[in-house]
Amino acid sequence: MSDMIAIGATVDNAAGAADVRLGTALDTGVLRRKYNFGDRVSELMISQDPFFRFLSKVAKKPTNDPQFKFTERRGSWHKRYAYSTAHGVNASVADTGDATVDATYLSDGKTYYFKMGTDYKSAGNIQNIYGQSNGAFSVGAAGTQPKFFLPGQVLKFNYRAADEDSAFTVPTGYVLVKVISVDLTSVETHAILRTEVIKGVDTAQDLMWASETAPVAQTYDAVIQNDLEPKRSYVVGTVYDKGTGYPETWADQPFSTAQGQTQIWKTAMAMDNTDRATELRYEKNEWARIWKDKLIEHKWDIEQSCLFGHFDTTYRTTEGAVDFITNYGNVFSLTHSTKTADEFLDDMSSYLDPRYNNGKATLFFCDTATYNWLHKIGGDSYFANNVGSIKDGGTLVGRANVDIRLAGKKRIFGVDVTTISTVYGDMNVVRNVHLDGSSVKILAINMNYVKYRPLVGNGINRDTSVYVGVQTLENSGVDRRVDLIQTEAGMEFSMPECHAYWA
């Protein structure tokens, strides 16, 4: 077996035949030895490649197959909600635009029927992601049937006064009903519930739909806390008589799978021994100078691929953060000249909503302009110029608080990190010059759900190894030392709702 690696184009030999390939004459005995660099490459020029630096230190997970699969797990404890898309006095309820319910039908002890649909896929508990139409679910879409309803559960339905507000964003009260029976067979995308009213109403009310004429439809572009929560009906406990025995049960399916693959990066350098032995002015060892630059060049290429790469089986390329998040992650807009601190806080509220993104390990990689903008809105000058004093009859009684505040700086694994304090927790902000000139201003990556996966198996480590050999050029008889830096690794991104970008 040979371990030959081609590093260049074909050249003609003395006889004129195109059969000499640069790099294929490397000394096999030396080439078979692996000089594994591992994390050492990430130590060079740390600040210029911060994403790869963090990946190398906290998110490295080797794979033993160049095509790997992984599993995502989404819990269901906060997913037991649905929207009432129809209601009536018998089981044959159909979709209707009438949100109004007469008090006669929602008085205590009455029997009432609800048709319930939801907006996430039961298999895997896969939900909508803010601003992301790719893979979005409307209420009642295929695979979204709410299967968690059981007899004995108590449900809460919000309402507001009939015909009072067609926007339906602020409820004025709620009713409670006990589930008597559940029908999951009549409509494969909905559940038909027969209920008994526990806490009713005295006057006609409108159930909280999107409007008086239609129930909730698309939800990926709606703000959860403002637009969706008032319309959701939740399970709020159970109620059983004494001595009733074991109730019915249900089981969710929280797992979904995805795949990735490794990509090969190569950077080569070659120099004959005469040049290696020649001492030069300024930097006397030309080999050492070029070698260091080649290592940095190799690391730069990996950082670029980890950010902008695209998963493609034909070209064997791995997924990049920008490509993945723009296709599947939360989407927000950011124009420095018009974006206010309040609007940015609204974005943070949607992104870090604990109902679907409870991760606290997010790094915010910014281009230079946005890095400066965040410092400005969180700095003392912005605070002094834009936030006034609290006065009582002309007397100063205190200073107003600010919701975005520069809390300090720190170094993590050698990378400069700015901590910006917000009401939703600290933002760890890192400048990444690779984002300059791109469409992405902020790339929010939850480091708990991203992995750098070098190929390691059967005692062979493909994580940034160096192959050393000697090449003889047949036309001249000159020997050259050839060093080949090679990395084979892939990127794994999971839980799209835990990532976001601002553009």
Domain range list for the chain:
10-71+258-502, 81-238
* The pLDDT of residue 39: 64
CA distance 446 to 458: 31
CA distance 175 to 110: 12
Residue spans of alpha helices (H) in 216-285:
273-277
Identify the segments of the chain with pLDDT beneath 70.
Answer: 1-40, 43, 95-97, 163-168, 210-215, 217-218, 379-402, 474, 476-477
**332 close to 347: Cβ distance less than 8 angstroms:** yes
CA distance 47 to 411: 10
Q: What are the pLDDT digits (tens) for 195-219? A: 999 999 888 888 877 655 566 766 7
Spell 141-152 as b/e; 16+ CB within 10 A means b.
Answer: beebbbbbbebe
Alpha-carbon Rg for the chain, nearest whole angstrom, is 31
- Residue where the block lists tokens 């339905």: 157
Strand partners, 63: 455
CA distance 299 to 21: 26
* The pLDDT of residue 18: 39
CB atoms within 10 A of CB 494: 20
Please name which of 72, 81, 149 lies closest in space to residue 355, comparing C-alpha atoms: 81
* The pLDDT of residue 207: 82
**49 close to 78: Cβ distance less than 8 angstroms:** no
CA distance 456 to 266: 17
* The pLDDT of residue 283: 87
* The pLDDT of residue 407: 80
Burial class (CB in 10 A: 0-12, 13-18, 19+), 198: middle
Q: Which residues, 6+ apart, have CB-to-CB distance to 52 below 8 Å?
A: 42, 299, 302, 303, 306, 452
* The pLDDT of residue 381: 53
* The pLDDT of residue 205: 83
Residue 345: helix, strand or coil by DSSP?
Answer: helix
